[in-house]
Structure 1
Amino acid sequence: MEIQDRTDLCFPHLLNSSCRKPTLHWSEAVLLNSVLLFISLITAVLNLLIIISVSHFRQLHTPTNILLLSLGVSDFFVGLLLMPFEIYRFTFCWILGEAMCVLFGFFIGTIICASIWNIVLISVDRYVAICYPLHYPTRVSLMRVKYCVCLRWFCASSCSLLYAKDELIQPGRSKSCIGECKFIISYIPGTFDLIFNFILPVTTIIVLYLRVFVVAVSQARAMRSHITVALFHSATSGTKKSELKAARTLGVLVVVYLMCYCPYYCYSLVGISLTNTPYAFSLVFLCYVNSCLNPLIYALFYPWFRKAVKVIVTLQILQPGSREAKLL
């Protein structure tokens, strides 16, 4: 009986302290891992196309696209690092050591925090463009946006250090047995995470987007009126349509984000402990799926992205002068 029990352990020689192996049957594990790894691969590839497009083509070097590039970088690392390691953590015994577990937790905090606040910066960008179009070129410059992006990533990594400080001081303190990688955030950092990475950014996004929506509706009415149609038609009609389309894209981006992240944070909000269970894994992976949906939204709403992907896939990007291609 003892031998049979030992075969169920991650480390049979550590009978009293070893975790049990995941209970998934091998056929279920193969099917689940194949589907999830495919999603991970698609996430990484699609966001890599975003990164290459905005980085390579000079015409796409705009403040808004720099923010999309930053979001693409965070989503790319979700597909490249977070998804595969989360799949491994759920379906296999953790044999990579406590240091790798702490490092994985640090990457989770940094990338997820950067992702949500990238969306906040995009919301601010659209707010200024729609509500203060005359001041937009002076208030939102390319260099300022780059500084904001760098500051955002620095703050994200600093917050992640705050969440992981207990594990850094005492690695493995959250583990109940050897062979698992588990993250338990104490009350104060957990409350800070809930407020700073969900309540505050979501509230900011919703308030800004409601303001954008009100201004967009008023502009649309003004453009349809007989009194001001000539003024809007001649100079600003094309620009307004472009800005309003970008605002609609942001709206879809925000709705998809809320659909993916709300279930996880709602459980956190009511104080339910999310341990390494299949249900917890599904909630976490649903958050990660948001990174796969973002580039699909770009492909649906941004013609320049579809054109850029065509140039990249057909290897026209290797030709001299491809940086100057007209995509807008």
Structure 2
Amino acid sequence: MAEDYINTTISTAKGNISSEQGSMSRNEFLARFEMATLSVILFFALFGNSVVIIVLKCCQQKLSRMQLFIIHLSIADIFVGLMQVLPQLIWKITEHFIGNNFLCKTIKYLQIVTMYASSYVLVMTAIDRYVSICYPLTSQTWTSKRVHVMITIAWTLSILFALPQLQIFSYEKGNTGVYDCLDNFYGDDGNLRMQIYITWTFLAVYLIPLLILAYLYSRICYVVWISVNSREDTTKRNAKSRRLGDKDSFSTENGSFTKIPRAHSRGLSKSKIKTIKLTLTVVLCFLICWAPFFFLMMISSFDLSINYYTSSVTAIVTLLSALNSCTNPWIYLAFSGRFCSSRKRASSKTSFTVNSYVDTETRLRACTEQMALAMKPIKEDDGRILTDSRVDET
């Protein structure tokens, strides 16, 4: 694989070629451009995601499930910045790894852990949105504790799936005589082992989460589409009823009208629609930023003779994948104003609805008591009539 991929996650697919590339003089203009870009990405990844966490923690009395997921997505992006972007930047400055075997294995391990975590936290967020939209009654039983359990599962899977990194990488002397953090994909079966591992990484980090996300959001979009159509049909029926003079009330015997409380079947709330758009935008950004990276990784590992991995192409691909760690805060910022206002409207509507239900329940209880009092003389009269009839029969 390409030289820059050594400095990111897995390493070159061709151990001897990477050493040869390391001995060649690098493009200084391209290297400086990468260092400048990585520095900017690192700053915005750390600053932007830290601001998101601080704002949500300090400005919200009680965090919603979606806001908790946003915090954990920001935490994952911060780890991406520290464990992927920062080591890649240092590698560009020093041109080779500076450290020992323990540091080499630790950095390589944490690099792949953050990749898994970013992907799996997105999947958990999509699962939460799927349950919230498609199974709203079940969603009501989900608490913040459930969110923490889902996030723990995501990080646990990431930690376990990244364990092969500890065996693959070590701090050893390359063909040029310089010590570096290198993989062990050499020998007669080196290419085969490399292809198996890279294919597994592609499936576990990108393709399988992509298929899960595609299914979940297709179901969500279908439910939203059904809800919108249902709301439009309801609006048309209500307009027709108003033209015909039909009211949302029923008449009692004394001629008064009692209004029927409107149900919550008008469709999805605007706040839920906003959260769907937010998470879908984050997912699309993740898929777009990482797609070229995994495409280049698969191409360069299975076709060793093809020269797709030039330094300029590799630089663009690795920078694009690193860019994902600093884009999410701006997505949150773009949706934050409308999202917060939607939440305020939703909370005010909820309090109004609760009060309406309390008032309605009180009125119904009063009506029931009045009906019971009215029926009591009738029951007593029925008892007298029944007694008189029995006396007559005897």
TM bin (shorter chain) = 0.7 to 0.9
Aligned letter for 2:181?
C
2:227, 2:268 within 8 Å by CA — same for their partners in 1? no
Cα distance, 1:276 vs structure 2: 9.5
Aligned letter for 1:282?
I
2:116 pairs, out of 93, 113, 118, with: 113
Cα distance, 1:269 vs structure 2: 3.4
2:85 pairs, out of 83, 86, 94, with: 83
Aligned letter for 1:291?
S
Cα distance, 1:237 vs structure 2: 5.4
Q: 1:306 to 1:241 in 2, by over 3 A?
A: closer
Q: Does residue 293 of structure 2 align to residue 290 of structure 1? A: no
Q: Distance in 2 between matches of 1:190 and 1:67?
A: 29
- Structure with greater strand share of residues: 2
3-state secondary structure, aligned to 1:186: helix
Aligned letter for 1:257?
F
Aligned to 1:158: 160
2:133, 2:220 within 8 Å by CA — same for their partners in 1? yes
Aligned to 2:313: 279
3-state secondary structure, aligned to 2:99: coil
Aligned to 2:229: 221
1:256 pairs, out of 261, 274, 285, with: 285
Q: 1:17 to 1:247 in 2, by over 3 A?
A: closer
Q: 1:125 to 1:17 in 2, by over 3 A?
A: closer
Cα distance, 1:104 vs structure 2: 1.5
1:87-166 to 2 correspondences below 5 Å? 87-93=89-95, 94-138=97-141, 140-166=142-168
Q: Percent identity?
A: 20
1:124, 1:208 within 8 Å by CA — same for their partners in 2? yes
Deviation digits for residues 143-194 of structure 1 (CA, Å, limit 9, x no counterpart): 1110111221122111111233233xxx236954424434567343322211
3-state secondary structure, aligned to 1:135: helix
Gaps in structure 2 of 5+ consecutive residues? 1-18, 186-192, 240-247, 249-259, 342-394
Q: Does residue 274 of structure 2 align to residue 245 of structure 1? A: yes
1:130, 1:244 within 8 Å by CA — same for their partners in 2? no
2:41, 2:322 within 8 Å by CA — same for their partners in 1? no
Q: 1:209 to 1:28 in 2, by over 3 A?
A: closer
Aligned letter for 2:35?
N
Q: Does residue 218 of structure 2 align to residue 210 of structure 1? A: yes
Q: Distance in 1 between matches of 2:179 and 2:339?
A: 43
Q: Does residue 297 of structure 2 align to residue 268 of structure 1? A: yes
Between stretches 180-189 and 223-232, larger displacement belongs to 223-232
Aligned letter for 1:34?
A
3-state secondary structure, aligned to 1:296: helix
1:301 pairs, out of 335, 339, 344, with: 335
3-state secondary structure, aligned to 1:181: strand
Aligned letter for 2:120?
W
3-state secondary structure, aligned to 1:23: coil
Q: Distance in 1 between matches of 2:161 and 2:73?
A: 18
3-state secondary structure, aligned to 1:110: helix
3-state secondary structure, aligned to 2:171: coil
Cα distance, 1:60 vs structure 2: 4.9
TM-score, normalised relative to structure 1: 0.76
Aligned to 2:197: 189
2:42 pairs, out of 28, 40, 43, with: 40
Aligned letter for 2:331?
I
Larger radius of gyration: 2
Q: Distance in 2 between matches of 1:52 and 1:300?
A: 17
2:105, 2:166 within 8 Å by CA — same for their partners in 1? yes
3-state secondary structure, aligned to 1:61: coil
Cα distance, 1:286 vs structure 2: 1.4
Q: Distance in 2 between matches of 1:78 and 1:181?
A: 19
Aligned letter for 1:302?
S
Q: Distance in 1 between matches of 2:204 and 2:262?
A: 42
Between stretches 119-128 and 276-285, larger displacement belongs to 276-285
1:44, 1:79 within 8 Å by CA — same for their partners in 2? yes
RMSD between superposed Cα atoms in Å:
3.2
Deviation digits for residues 79-98 of structure 1 (CA, Å, limit 9, x no counterpart): 23321211222343322233
1:90, 1:281 within 8 Å by CA — same for their partners in 2? no
Between stretches 74-83 and 186-195, larger displacement belongs to 186-195
Q: 1:87 to 1:220 in 2, by over 3 A?
A: same
Q: Distance in 2 between matches of 1:100 and 1:67?
A: 31
1:123, 1:208 within 8 Å by CA — same for their partners in 2? yes
Between stretches 89-98 and 143-152, larger displacement belongs to 89-98
3-state secondary structure, aligned to 1:172: strand
Paired residues in the alignment total 287
